[in-house]
């Protein structure tokens, strides 16, 4: 059928770059936090040295992230409304609390960690884990509640967001540790084993992430027409280069290969892989947010 | 009869719509809607091959849904659904987070370029409360737009609705829209999934 | 339904009750912000000839809304986008607010503010000079709209040259109808028809009676099951909402109508009684006249299938009431007068005069004993109509002073660039005065420009052609005031209290044309002032009205201001045939199918247009058409331009693709007159041999909105113009040839053949 829209209005963008950036930063924060609990919560001592880095990153990133929200909202001076006029059916309301509780917990957790009070650290690590999951998971719900947007409106969204959060968290962690060890420690030596270990962890998280992305795509491409349109948009359409090449090939598959093929496994490749992942996950946020609302609704 | 509570609705008889845009302009002036954003607009779609082609006009406005997702997701309860069904935004409360825009399946909300808060068609409740019809309904030269109480069997709108097959746009959205259409063409609803913007 | 009331009057009312006034429906409105009720001023829309009754709503002093007057019998509460956009016209920050005098060469665009006094002196001196030296014929008045005081003024001067755009632009149609029935317009009673054949008019977007007709057509079709069939070269809004659209080859409607008439006659489905008694031809001679026009022949010429022609003809003759209507689509051709006569013939053979659901003579208001003649009809106007400036020059006419009021020939005449050259040449036109609401393309060439009050700022009377045989007089009263402080102080009805009146707000110096005429008359004196013995337009309107209403009418006038129009109850129906509900046709002159004056073609026939036999694959016939969102007073409307700001060239998709042209590609369109570059809209809604352009685009003056420019002004919206990067379309008149139909003398503005080349 030959059909042509002769006139329609241009719709404003609901969520744009700022929101993608906000999602990205909360993701990095949650990922870093969870990594830091490997040692301090679960006692995996080989990861001990990243605990401190993790908590500092988690806190810092989560202090920066809301600024992107404030830039995004039209009435930043009314942000206090979020704490007064609560609507428990809105994920953003959940977020308002999480955005307060989570950094507070991070600070306490970090405080005990730096004071080497292991018991208390552990308690706040376990309080922090659900908070970290929630603080990033809720952003997944924000999108999932965008019911008209096929790319967003999936129950996978929160878990997809978490997986990518951890992926990006590990990669960032690797980079930060290398920079820290290389330039800010007296020894200037890098803990190679730790990095390679983290690399492996990263590789398997990438597999999990790819599995989720793949499931999502599979279902999208056989689902209703809006979903198919969305799949088309990211597979062959306007966002295909960003999605296929940058986010998945450069951002996940190549790093995975670099990380798991023993022949490639060196510090340099881990750094390259991590860099690629950090960029790739940002592109993932960008694609989800912008491609999600690219197709007009009417 | 009058026992049932009021449920206001709009009925668009597309057989009568001539695509004249009087509704769009009436709304711009009634509600001081700035350039670049719209509370109602008339989408125009061409379909079919020459000479069996056709043009469809589709006036679009807020559905003032029974289950408004825009209200569900507003973090500050700025979206309010009145007992008579009108959904409006409290301009003093809205923080302009755009979540309602992202979630409404109909794309009828916008951020006012100067006031920076969300706005949309609210069936001109300032007029309705004064016993008048919404401005676009009043303007429509061919009576393609009807407004009234769907729960009152004596009202014009429920009579017309009873006598005709009525549809809503995207019933699958689950918001229970209350802007009804007669002779809705499904392809004119569908966004053309072309990527050139 | 307007305010929940069933629509009455018009279509639903039987003959007996036509004289009754419509009900008194509420005209309230409330302010969105303060919830206070708004001041409602009923007046008349003049954005197009339809003259709908509208209510202007004011919040304090600001005009905030215009909606239809629910009591007005023609538009019955409906309004169109242009009617609402009157707000943009009045509140436009780019309006011309002061008289200006050119500085430097003509067209250089440098201006100096002058006083009205200086403008009046200059103008009255020139007119006096021309009067004294017997050269008043060198005074050219180019008017885009009738005005009763302007008409009187011109009358009193003797014989100035008058270019009446209303008549000029519809000359073929007027000539055809006037020749046949003696009245230059007929009322099409579509609201009560069952079968409506539409040849080339687009009443769902624009029409001389736009909203009144559109409303009746839609309601007849949807609520009463009437069938509407549209012939058009493209799918107009009307075609889109018709039961069937027949894409017809441009300029061939005449033969389709003749073939239909032939079928009706051959099958003896015609109204023989009417033909024999009411027309000047007999059934047999008509049959003979029509016999050559077979449906097959019509199919070959027009592309409309013979079987369809036969079926539609039978339907037209049997499913009565039926009516054939037509517009610019068939009359703006070199065979336009013939086309109009051919389609009219369809009406005559089914006996469609003074018949319910058919055609009616317009009903004019005016009691017996009225001292005043009714104000001019929006469709008639003065009879002294010359052609455009080109023809005046060709006839070696000398032009002393050219006064353009409400007219922008440099933009809207065919081959408008040559019009511009004529007007720019100081040897051709010694003095050019333009009175308009904006600095138009024509204004840019003027020696003096005068700021015109808009229709929402002045007084006036206009009798709207009534669609329901109830004679109506529309009143126009100022909703907003644009008086200058100085004029206000001098005004005879000025009182100090007035300063507190929210009406009174000197913002600029715009003046109504009527008041300009009165002031000129006062300065010219003599015979002129005798014929214009009024202080101002308001006095003229009330005097005029009281003579229509009869004695003791002060109250009547107040009542009128509250209603916005007056319905003539027709007390003296017996003596004045034009007031009657039904006209006794046996006493009126016969319908003249055979013309006494059209020597080239005494009998209606089909004349194929040679130029339309296209020779090359890239040749097309260029159609221009009007859109809902363009027209008088609309060029600088931000709301209209936001929706429609660029006119693309419609091209049949299949043909375009064969030529390698895709949607949005740029092409060069070339005619004998010139060429322009435009983006293409490939569509399945146009005849393969036609291309089409909406008129009203490609402005180079008027204002930044018309030019699609973003700018800062007192209107906070103008900085939000988001479509500024698109260019503002093209003006088809730049490439439309200036050719006239030899029979009726009207322009063949939909006939230009153009070549199309893809630009890469
Ligand atoms: N919105 C708006 N309304 C207006 C006006 C305005 O500018 N804007 N102007 C007013 C004035 S001044 C006038 S004169 C009227 C004019 O009203 P119309 O006469 O109805 O208008 P046009 O646009 O000239 O032509 C009508 C149709 O003729 C078609 N056409 C072109 N060539 C042919 C042909 O060969 N055969 C057939 N069958 N159709 C053909 C065109 O595609 C177009 O759709 O409108 C009045 N109303
Ligand atoms: N391509 C193409 N061109 C056409 C036609 C076509 O079908 N196609 N149709 C032709 C026809 S039928 C017509 S009638 C003409 C129309 O052509 P014009 O009569 O030139 O009509 P407009 O340009 O719409 O308006 C004339 C001027 O009136 C001014 N004006 C608006 N409101 C007021 C007011 O209240 N007071 C004063 N003083 N001035 C005001 C406007 O600013 C404008 O400059 O166009 C003709 N030109
Ligand atoms: S149409 Fe959209 S904005 Fe309107 S009530 Fe429904 S969900 Fe809310
Ligand atoms: S933009 Fe305003 S109305 Fe919409 S969700 Fe945010 S706060 Fe609520
Ligand atoms: S009901 Fe009022 S707000 Fe809604 S579209 Fe109509 S005029 Fe605009
Ligand atoms: S005003 Fe009425 S006829 Fe015109 S576009 Fe709107 S709904 Fe359609
Ligand atoms: S049809 Fe003409 S007169 Fe009536 S509202 Fe529209 S522009 Fe005004
Ligand atoms: Mo016209």
Instruction: Report the distance separating Cα C136 and Cα C399, nearest Å.
Output: 10
Q: Is residue C379 very low, low, confident or very high in pLDDT (cuts 50, 70, 90)?
A: very low
Residue C495: both structure tokens together:
């009182």
Q: Phi and psi dihedrals of C59, rounded to 5?
A: -105, 110
Please report residues of C whose CB lies closer than 8 A to that of A6: 681, 683
Instruction: Report the distance separating Cα C464 and Cα C43, nearest Å.
Output: 12
Percent of chain C scored above 90 by pLDDT?
Answer: 73
Residue nearest to atom 6 of ligand 3 (CA): B65
Q: Which domain holds residue A28?
A: 15-145
Measured in Å, residue C383 CA sits from the centre of ligand 7 at 25
Domain assignment present for residue C592? The answer is no
More confident residue, C484 or B173: B173
Contact A47, A97 (CB under 8 A): no
CB contact under 8 A, B103 and A148: yes
Residues C410 and C428 in one domain: yes
Residues C686 and C732 in one domain: yes
pLDDT at C163 over 60: yes
A120-127 long-range Cβ contacts below 8 angstroms, 24+ apart:
A121/A40, A122/A40, A122/A41, A125/A36, A125/A37, A125/A40, A125/A41, A126/A37, A126/A41
Ligand 7 atom closest to Cα of residue C48 = 2
Return the minimum-mean-pLDDT range out of B76-90, C297-311, C430-444, C558-572.
C558-572
Ligand 5 atom closest to Cα of residue B135 = 7
Residue closest to C302 by CA, chosen among C248, C232, C356, C375: C248
Note the pLDDT tens digit of each residue in B88-135. 999 999 999 999 999 999 999 999 999 999 999 999 999 999 999 999
Give bridge partners of residue C429 from the DSSP assignment: C399
Query: Who lines ligand 6 at CB under 6 A?
Result: B 17-23, 42, 57, 59, 139-140, 142, 144-145
Residue nearest to atom 44 of ligand 2 (CA): C408
Please report residues of A whose CB lies closer than 8 A to that of B98: 14-15, 72-74
- What integer pLDDT is reported at residue C317 of this predicted model? 98
Domain boundaries in chain B?
Answer: 8-191
- What integer pLDDT is reported at residue B26 of this predicted model? 98
pLDDT at C98 over 60: yes
Exposure string (b/e) for C579-602, b if CB count within 10 Å is 16 or more? Answer: bbbebebeeeeebbbebeebeeee
Q: Does ligand 4 come within 6 angstroms of the Cβ of B97? A: yes
Contact C30, C37 (CB under 8 A): yes
Please report residues of B whose CB lies closer than 8 A to that of A97: none
pLDDT at A27 over 50: yes
CATH of B8-191 given 3.30.450.20, 3.40.50.800, 3.40.50.300, 3.30.70.20: 3.30.70.20
Mean pLDDT of C154-171: 88
Mutation target to probe the B interface, by most B beta carbons within 10 A, among C84, C90, C226 is C84
Note the pLDDT tens digit of each residue in C577-629. 444 555 677 777 889 999 888 888 889 999 999 999 999 999 999 999 999 99
Measured in Å, residue C685 CA sits from the centre of ligand 1 at 16
- What integer pLDDT is reported at residue C554 of this predicted model? 63
The CA-CA-CA angle for residues C667, C670, C676, to 5°, reads: 60
Instruction: Report the distance separating Cα C239 and Cα C684, nearest Å.
Output: 13
Give the ligand whose atoms come closest to the C-alpha of residue C329. Answer: 1
Q: Is residue C8 very low, low, confident or very high in pLDDT (cuts 50, 70, 90)?
A: very low
Please report residues of B whose CB lies closer than 8 A to that of A74: 94-98, 111, 115-117
Residue A111: both structure tokens together:
């405080």
Ligand 2 atom closest to Cα of residue C438 = 42
Burial class (CB in 10 A: 0-12, 13-18, 19+), C97: middle
Cβ within 8 Å of residue C324, ≥6 positions away: C196, C197, C198, C199, C257, C316, C343, C344, C346, C347, C352
Contact B97, A142 (CB under 8 A): no
Taking CA atoms, B172 is separated from A224, B37, B63, B177, C625, in Å, by 11, 26, 14, 10, 40
Taking CA atoms, B45 is separated from A54, B11, B24, C650, in Å, by 55, 20, 17, 15
Please report residues of A whose CB lies closer than 8 A to that of C684: 2
Q: What is the CATH number of the domain that holds C666?
A: 2.40.40.20
Measured in Å, residue C738 CA sits from the centre of ligand 2 at 17
Burial class (CB in 10 A: 0-12, 13-18, 19+), C154: buried
Residues C488 and C446 in one domain: no
Query: What is the ipTM, given to two decimal places?
Result: 0.93
CB contact under 8 A, C79 and B50: no
Burial class (CB in 10 A: 0-12, 13-18, 19+), C427: exposed
CB contact under 8 A, A7 and C653: no
Measured in Å, residue B63 CA sits from the centre of ligand 5 at 11
B37, B47, B191: residue with CB nearest A297 = B191
Burial class (CB in 10 A: 0-12, 13-18, 19+), C421: middle
- What integer pLDDT is reported at residue C9 of this predicted model? 29
Cβ within 8 Å of residue C223, ≥6 positions away: none
- What integer pLDDT is reported at residue C19 of this predicted model? 31
A4, A7, A14: residue with CB nearest B102 = A14
Query: Who lines ligand 5 at CB under 6 A?
Result: B 26-27, 30-31, 39-40, 61, 121-124, 134-136
Mean pLDDT of B77-96: 97
Mean pLDDT of C506-523: 92
Return the minimum-mean-pLDDT range out of A284-288, B3-7, C68-72.
B3-7
Q: Which domain holds residue C224?
A: 187-360
In the listed set C360, C394, C421, which residue is the last one of a domain according to the structure? C360
CB contact under 8 A, A15 and B102: yes
The DSSP string of C399-420 is: EEEEEEES--HHHHSTTHHHHH
Mean pLDDT of C142-168: 89
Give bridge partners of residue B57 from the DSSP assignment: B44
Domain assignment present for residue A33? The answer is yes
Helix axes C148-157, C513-524, angle to 10 degrees: 30
Q: Is residue C385 very low, low, confident or very high in pLDDT (cuts 50, 70, 90)?
A: low
Residues C113 and C69 in one domain: no
Q: Phi and psi dihedrals of C619, rounded to 5?
A: -100, 140
DSSP 3-state of C568: coil
Measured in Å, residue B58 CA sits from the centre of ligand 1 at 23
C26, C84, C652: residue with CB nearest B22 = C84
Domain assignment present for residue A201? The answer is no
Instruction: Report the distance separating Cα C138 and Cα C270, nearest Å.
Output: 52
Domain assignment present for residue A80? The answer is yes
Q: Is residue C564 very low, low, confident or very high in pLDDT (cuts 50, 70, 90)?
A: very high
Instruction: Report the distance separating Cα C460 and Cα C473, nearest Å.
Output: 10
Q: Is residue C504 very low, low, confident or very high in pLDDT (cuts 50, 70, 90)?
A: low
Dihedral sign, Cα of residue C155, residue C156, residue C161, residue C166: negative
- Neighbours, chain C (3 or more CB pairs < 8 A): A, B
Percent of chain A scored above 90 by pLDDT?
Answer: 79
Residues C149 and C255 in one domain: no
Instruction: Report the distance separating Cα C562 and Cα C171, nearest Å.
Output: 37
- What integer pLDDT is reported at residue C552 of this predicted model? 58
CB contact under 8 A, A86 and B195: no
Note the pLDDT tens digit of each residue in A204-244. 999 999 999 999 999 999 998 889 999 999 999 999 999 99
Give bridge partners of residue C59 from the DSSP assignment: C62
Contact A5, B45 (CB under 8 A): yes
Taking CA atoms, C703 is separated from C634, C707, C717, C718, in Å, by 11, 6, 14, 11
Where residue A111 falls (left for φ over 0; alpha for ψ -120 to 50; beta otherwise) is alpha
Residue C394 CB-half CA count within 13 A: 9
- What integer pLDDT is reported at residue C697 of this predicted model? 98
- What integer pLDDT is reported at residue A191 of this predicted model? 84
More confident residue, C535 or C491: C535
More confident residue, B65 or C11: B65
Note the pLDDT tens digit of each residue in C723-751. 999 889 999 999 999 999 999 989 999 99
More confident residue, C266 or C543: C266
Residues C615 and C753 in one domain: yes
Q: What is the CATH number of the domain that holds C398?
A: 3.40.50.740
E-assigned strand segments in chain A: 3-7
Q: Is residue B195 very low, low, confident or very high in pLDDT (cuts 50, 70, 90)?
A: very low
DSSP 3-state of C563: helix
Please report residues of A whose CB lies closer than 8 A to that of B116: 74-75
Domain assignment present for residue A261? The answer is no
Residues C195 and C311 in one domain: yes
Taking CA atoms, A293 is separated from A146, A150, A162, A286, C276, in Å, by 9, 9, 21, 11, 70
Give bridge partners of residue C676 from the DSSP assignment: C669
Q: Is residue A182 very low, low, confident or very high in pLDDT (cuts 50, 70, 90)?
A: confident
Give the strand pairing for C139-143 and C399-405: parallel
Note the pLDDT tens digit of each residue in A48-103. 888 888 999 999 999 999 999 999 999 999 999 999 999 999 999 999 999 999 99
E-assigned strand segments in C389-476: 399-405, 429-436, 448-451, 460-462, 472-476
Percent of chain B scored above 90 by pLDDT?
Answer: 92
Percent of chain C scored above 70 by pLDDT?
Answer: 90
Give the distance from residue B104's alpha carbon to the nearest chain A alpha carbon, in angstroms.
7
Tokens 């053979």 found at: C349
Structural domains counted in chain C:
4
Residues C310 and C200 in one domain: yes
Domain assignment present for residue A40? The answer is yes
Note the pLDDT tens digit of each residue in C14-58. 232 233 334 577 788 999 988 999 999 999 999 999 999 999 999
- What integer pLDDT is reported at residue C396 of this predicted model? 73
Q: Which of C233, C328, C335, C751 to mutate to test the pocket of ligand 1 (most atoms within 8 A of CB)?
A: C328
Residue C370: both structure tokens together:
């009225």
Mean pLDDT of C468-475: 86
Give the distance from residue B65's alpha carbon to the nearest chain C alpha carbon, in angstroms.
22
Instruction: Report the distance separating Cα C678 and Cα C703, nearest Å.
Output: 21
Contact C41, C65 (CB under 8 A): no
Contact C20, C472 (CB under 8 A): no
Dihedral sign, Cα of residue C466, residue C467, residue C470, residue C476: negative
Structural domains counted in chain A:
1
Mean pLDDT of A267-283: 95
Average pLDDT, chain A: 92
Burial class (CB in 10 A: 0-12, 13-18, 19+), C99: buried
Q: What is the CATH number of the domain that holds A20?
A: 1.20.1630.10
Return the minimum-mean-pLDDT range out of A41-55, A263-277, B87-101, C491-505.
C491-505
CB contact under 8 A, C685 and B55: yes
Mean pLDDT of A36-57: 88
pLDDT at C384 over 80: no
Residues C338 and C242 in one domain: yes
Cβ < 5 A residues, ion ligand 8: C 169
- What integer pLDDT is reported at residue C20 of this predicted model? 32
Dihedral sign, Cα of residue C205, residue C208, residue C213, residue C217: negative
Residues C46 and C107 in one domain: no
Instruction: Report the distance separating Cα A141 and Cα A138, nearest Å.
Output: 5
């Amino acid at each position: 059928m030959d059909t042509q829209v002769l006139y329609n209005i241009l719709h404003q963008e609901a969520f744009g770059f700022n929101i993608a950036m906000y999602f990205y930063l909360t993701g990095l924060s949650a990922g870093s936090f969870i990594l830091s609990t490997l040692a301090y919560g679960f006692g995996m001592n080989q990861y001990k040295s990243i605990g401190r880095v993790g908590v500092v990153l988690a806190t810092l990133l989560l202090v920066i992230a809301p600024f992107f929200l404030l830039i995004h909202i039209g009435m930043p001076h009314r942000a206090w409304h979020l704490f007064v006029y609560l609507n428990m059916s809105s994920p953003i309301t959940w977020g308002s609390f999480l955005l307060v509780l989570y950094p507070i917990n991070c600070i306490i957790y970090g405080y005990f960690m730096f004071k080497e009070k292991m018991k208390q650290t552990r308690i706040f690590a376990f309080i922090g884990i659900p908070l970290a999951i929630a603080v990033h998971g809720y952003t997944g719900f924000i999108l999932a509640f965008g019911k008209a947007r096929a790319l967003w409106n999936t129950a996978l969204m929160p878990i997809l967001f978490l997986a990518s959060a951890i992926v990006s968290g590990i990669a960032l962690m690797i980079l930060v540790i290398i920079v820290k060890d290389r330039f800010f420690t007296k020894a200037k030596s890098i803990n190679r084993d730790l990095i390679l270990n983290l690399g492996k962890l990263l590789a398997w998280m990438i597999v999990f992430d790819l599995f989720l992305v793949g499931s999502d795509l599979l279902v999208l491409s056989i689902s209703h027409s809006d979903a198919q349109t969305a799949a088309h948009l990211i597979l062959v359409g306007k966002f295909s280069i960003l999605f296929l090449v940058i986010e998945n090939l450069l951002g996940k598959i190549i790093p995975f290969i670099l990380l798991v093929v023993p022949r490639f496994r060196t510090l340099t490749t881990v750094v390259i892989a991590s860099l690629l992942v950090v960029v790739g996950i940002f592109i993932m946020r960008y694609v989800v947010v912008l491609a999600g609302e690219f197709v007009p609704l009417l | 009869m009058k026992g049932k509570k009021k449920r206001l609705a709009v009925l668009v008889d597309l057989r009568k719509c001539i695509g004249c845009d009087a509704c769009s302009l009436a709304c711009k002036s009634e509600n001081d809607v700035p350039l670049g954003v719209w509370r109602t607009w008339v989408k125009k779609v061409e379909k079919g091959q020459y000479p069996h082609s056709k043009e469809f006009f589709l006036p679009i406005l807020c559905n003032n849904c029974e289950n408004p997702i825009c209200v569900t997701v507003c973090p500050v309860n700025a979206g309010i659904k009145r007992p008579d069904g009108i959904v409006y935004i409290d301009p003093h409360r809205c923080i302009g987070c755009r979540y309602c825009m992202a979630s409404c399946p109909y794309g009828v909300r916008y951020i006012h370029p100067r006031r920076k808060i969300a706005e949309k068609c609210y069936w001109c409740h300032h007029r309705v409360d004064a016993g008048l019809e919404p401005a676009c309904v009043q303007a429509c030269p061919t009576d393609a737009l009807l407004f009234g109480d769907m729960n009152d069997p004596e009202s014009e709108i429920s009579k017309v609705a009873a006598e005709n097959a009525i549809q809503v746009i995207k019933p699958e959205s689950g918001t229970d829209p209350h802007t009804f259409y007669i002779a809705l063409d499904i392809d004119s609803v569908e966004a053309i999934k072309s990527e050139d913007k | 339904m307007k305010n929940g009331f069933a629509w009455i009057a018009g279509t639903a009312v039987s003959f007996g009750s036509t004289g009754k006034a419509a009900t008194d429906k509420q005209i309230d409105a409330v302010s969105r912000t303060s919830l206070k009720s708004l001041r409602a001023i009923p007046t008349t829309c003049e954005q197009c000839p339809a003259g709908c009754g509208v209510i202007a709503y004011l919040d304090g002093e600001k005009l905030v809304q215009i909606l239809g007057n629910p009591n007005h019998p023609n538009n019955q509460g409906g309004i169109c986008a242009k009617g609402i956009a009157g707000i943009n016209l009045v509140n436009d920050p780019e309006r011309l607010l002061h008289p200006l005098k050119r500085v430097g060469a003509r067209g250089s665009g440098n201006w100096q503010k002058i006083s009205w006094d200086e403008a009046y002196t200059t103008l009255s001196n020139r007119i006096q000079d021309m009067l004294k030296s017997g050269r008043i014929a060198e005074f050219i008045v180019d008017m885009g709209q009738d005005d009763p005081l302007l008409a009187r003024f011109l009358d009193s001067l003797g014989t100035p040259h008058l270019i009446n755009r209303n008549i000029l632009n519809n000359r073929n149609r007027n000539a055809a109808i006037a020749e046949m029935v003696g009245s230059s317009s007929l009322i099409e009673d579509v609201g009560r028809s069952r079968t409506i054949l539409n040849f080339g008019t687009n009443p769902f977007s624009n029409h001389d009676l736009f909203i009144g007709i559109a409303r009746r057509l839609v309601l007849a079709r949807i609520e009463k099951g009437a069938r509407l069939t549209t012939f058009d070269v493209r799918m107009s809004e009307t075609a889109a909402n018709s039961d069937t659209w027949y894409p017809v080859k441009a300029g061939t409607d005449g033969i389709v109508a003749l073939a239909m008439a032939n079928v009706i006659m051959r099958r003896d489905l015609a109204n023989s009684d009417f033909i024999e008694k009411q027309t000047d031809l007999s059934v047999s001679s008509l049959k003979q006249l029509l016999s050559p026009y077979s449906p097959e022949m019509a199919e070959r010429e027009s592309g409309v299938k013979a079987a369809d022609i036969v079926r539609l003809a039978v339907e037209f003759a049997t499913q009565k009431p039926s009516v054939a209507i037509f517009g610019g689509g068939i009359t703006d051709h070199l065979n336009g007068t013939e086309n109009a006569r051919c389609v009219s013939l369809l009406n005559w053979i089914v006996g469609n005069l003074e018949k319910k659901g058919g055609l009616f003579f317009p009903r004019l208001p005016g009691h017996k004993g009225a001292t005043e003649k009714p104000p001019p009809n929006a469709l008639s106007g003065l009879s002294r109509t010359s052609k455009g400036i080109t023809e005046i020059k060709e006839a070696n006419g000398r032009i002393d002073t050219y006064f353009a009021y409400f007219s922008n020939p440099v933009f809207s005449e065919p081959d408008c660039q040559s019009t511009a050259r004529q007007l720019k040449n100081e040897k051709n036109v010694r003095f050019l005065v333009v009175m308009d609401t904006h600095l138009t393309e024509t204004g840019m060439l003027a020696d003096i420009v005068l700021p015109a009050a808009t229709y929402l700022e002045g007084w006036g009377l206009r009798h709207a052609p009534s669609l329901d045989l109830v004679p109506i007089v529309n009143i126009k009263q100022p909703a907003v005031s644009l008086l200058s402080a100085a004029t206000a102080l001098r005004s005879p009805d000025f009182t100090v209290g007035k300063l507190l009146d929210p009406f009174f707000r000197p913002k600029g110096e715009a003046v109504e044309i009527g008041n300009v005429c009165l002031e000129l008359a006062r300065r010219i004196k003599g015979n002129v002032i005798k014929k214009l013995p009024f202080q101002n337009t308001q006095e003229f309107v009330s005097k005029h009205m009281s003579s229509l209403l009869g004695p003791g009418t002060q109250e009547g006038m107040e009542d009128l201001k509250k209603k916005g129009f007056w319905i003539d109850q027709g007390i003296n129906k017996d003596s004045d045939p034009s007031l009657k509900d039904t006209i006794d046709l046996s006493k009126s002159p016969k319908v003249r199918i055979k013309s006494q004056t059209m020597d080239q073609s005494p009998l209606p026939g089909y004349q194929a247009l040679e130029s339309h036999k296209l020779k090359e694959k890239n040749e097309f016939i260029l159609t221009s058409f009007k859109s809902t969102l363009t027209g008088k007073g609309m060029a600088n409307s931000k709301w209209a331009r936001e929706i429609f700001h660029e006119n693309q060239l419609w091209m049949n998709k299949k043909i375009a693709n064969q030529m390698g042209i895709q949607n949005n590609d740029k092409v060069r369109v070339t005619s004998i007159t010139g060429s322009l570059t435009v983006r293409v809209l490939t569509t399945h809604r146009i005849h393969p041999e036609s291309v089409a352009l909406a008129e009203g685009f490609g402005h180079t003056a008027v204002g930044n909105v018309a030019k699609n420019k973003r700018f800062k002004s007192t209107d906070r919206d103008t900085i939000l113009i988001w479509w500024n990067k698109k260019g503002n379309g093209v003006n088809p008149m730049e490439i439309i040839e200036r050719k006239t139909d030899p029979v009726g003398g009207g322009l063949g503005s939909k006939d230009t053949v153009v070549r199309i080349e893809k630009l890469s």
